[in-house]
Amino acid sequence: MKFGVDRLLSEPDLRTELAGRRIALLAHPASVTADLTHTLDALARIESLHLTAAFGPQHGLRGDKQDNMIESADFEDPVHGIPVFSLYGDVRRPTRTMMDSFDVLLVDLQDLGCRIYTFITTLRYVLEAAAEYGKSVWVLDRPNPTGRPVEGLRLRAGWESFVGAGPLPMRHGLTLGELTHWFIRTLRLNVDYRVIVMQGWKPEQGPGFGWPLGTRAWINPSPNAPNLSMARCYAGTVMLEGTTLSEGRGTTRPLELFGAPDLDTRVLVAQMQNLAPQWLQGCKLRPCWFEPSFHKHAGQLCAGLQIHVETGSYDHRRFQPWRLQALAFKALRRMYPDYALWRDFPYEYEHERLAIDLINGSPLLREWVDDAAATAADLDTLAGRDEAAWCKEREDILLYR
C-alpha cells in the first residue's frame, strides 16, 4: 500500500498544482516515507517544490516534549533554513504571520483514531485559519491504526476544547483525510483543500485491522504512543489521564496498563466480571506490578492490569476499550465508594472543568460511574445511540470502502 506522502513523492502529476507556490508542512516524528525519510527532508529534495516553512503540533515537529502542557518553541530548521512554527507553544491556532509564510500547507500527521488526540484539533484550527486567510490545505492521508470501529459518547455542545474538536465519539473510525471532509462540511468552511488518498488501505483486514503490519514501521507519533497495542487501547486508557490511577507513564508500556499502590486487582477483575463480562471480550487482562519512573505514583510499586491486544485473544470487532476502562472505574467505585478517583488539575489549558469530563466531552461518563444505581445497560443505551448516529453521519465521507 501507499500512504498519501508516498504518492505525492512518486507521482509527479499530483505535484503539478504546487509548482511556483510557497509550501509549508505540518508534521511530527511519525511523518516519514516508506523508506523512513522524514517528510520534510523528502520534500526538500524535490527541486520543483519551494519549501518556506514548517509547523509542529503538540510534542513538536521532532517529538521532543514528553507530557501535556509542555510547550515547544519556534525555531529555525538547521538543515533547511526555514522557520518552524509551534502550534503548541505561545499559540495553538496559527497566527497571521505564520499563515503569511506559505500558499499551500501540506498536513502529514499520523493519528491514533481517537477524539482526544490533539492532532485532530490542530487540523481543525489550520483548516479554519486557511479559510480565513485564503490558503490551501492538502492532507497527505495516513491509516487510522485502529481501523473502522466506533465507540463512546459523542462530545456535547459547549464541551469543545483542545482535546475535543467537535461532536465526535471517542473512537471515530476515520482517517485524517476523512476527518478533513467532515470538519469542512460540519463547520461550513469555504477553503481550498485536497486529500491525497492512500492506495491499498484495508482497515478490515487482519492482522493489522487498520495498520499495515509487516510492511510499515511504527514510529511514535507522540512520546507515549510506542506501538500498535497502545493505539488499540488508547480510546479507553486515555481516560486514565483524568484519574488518580497511573496510566503507565514512566514505564515502557504507557497507556496499555493502569494501576495504583492501593489497588487490589484480584477483587477489581472479579467486580468487572460481575458487572459486565461482555465488555471484557476481545482482549486479555493480566494482573501485573509496575513502578513508574516519573508521573503519577513515581517510585512507588503499583498493582495493576495490562490490557493485551497483541495475541490470539485479540478480537478486533469485539474489543471495546472505552467500555472496558469505564467498567474498571465502575468496579473500583463499587469496591471503594469514597475512592479519590477523579483528578482535579489543569488539563490542556482548562482550569475549571474536571479533566475526566473534558476527555469524555461531557460529565456523562463520570456521572454514570459515580451513580451507584446506574448499570452497564444504562451506559450501553446512552453510548449506543451516539454510536449509531455517528455511523450514519460518517457514511458519505468514507474514502476507503
CATH 3.90.1150.140 domain locations along the chain: 228-370
Burial of 282 (0-12, 13-18, 19+ CB in 10 A): middle
Specify the pLDDT at position 71. 78
pLDDT tens for 67-114 read: 666 778 889 999 999 999 999 989 999 999 999 999 999 999 999 999
- Signed CA dihedral, 229, 230, 233, 235: sign only: negative
Helix (H) or strand (E) holding 105: strand 104-108
Specify the pLDDT at position 388. 98
Helix, strand or coil, per DSSP, at residue 112: coil
Q: Using alpha carbons, select from 320, 319, 341, 344 the residue that is nearest to residue 331.
A: 341
Specify the pLDDT at position 68. 65
CATH assignment of 228-370, given 3.90.1150.140, 3.30.70.20, 3.40.710.10, 3.40.309.10? 3.90.1150.140
- According to DSSP, the β-strands at 257-260 and 302-308 are antiparallel
pLDDT tens for 341-371 read: 999 999 988 889 999 999 999 999 999 999 9
* All cell numbers assigned to 218: 511504527
Burial of 3 (0-12, 13-18, 19+ CB in 10 A): buried
pLDDT tens for 207-249 read: 999 999 999 999 999 999 999 999 999 999 999 999 999 999 9
**Does the domain formed by 4-217 have CATH 3.40.50.12170?**
yes
Helix (H) or strand (E) holding 262: none
Residue 151 forms beta bridges with which residues? 171
Quick one: residue 209, left, alpha or beta (phi over 0 = left, psi -120 to 50 = alpha)?
Answer: left
Specify the pLDDT at position 69. 61
d(CA 107, CA 103): 13
CATH 3.40.50.12170 domain locations along the chain: 4-217
* All cell numbers assigned to 365: 461518563
Q: Using alpha carbons, select from 74, 14, 98 the residue that is nearest to residue 48.
A: 14
Q: What is the 8-class DSSP label of residue 277?
A: G
Specify the pLDDT at position 60. 87
> What are the φ/ψ torsions at residue 388 (nearest 5 degrees)?
-65, -40
**Per-residue DSSP letters for 59-83?**
TTTTT---STT-----EE-TTT--E
Residue 243 forms beta bridges with which residues? 342
pLDDT tens for 245-258 read: 999 999 999 999 99
- The pLDDT of 279-292, averaged and rounded, is 98
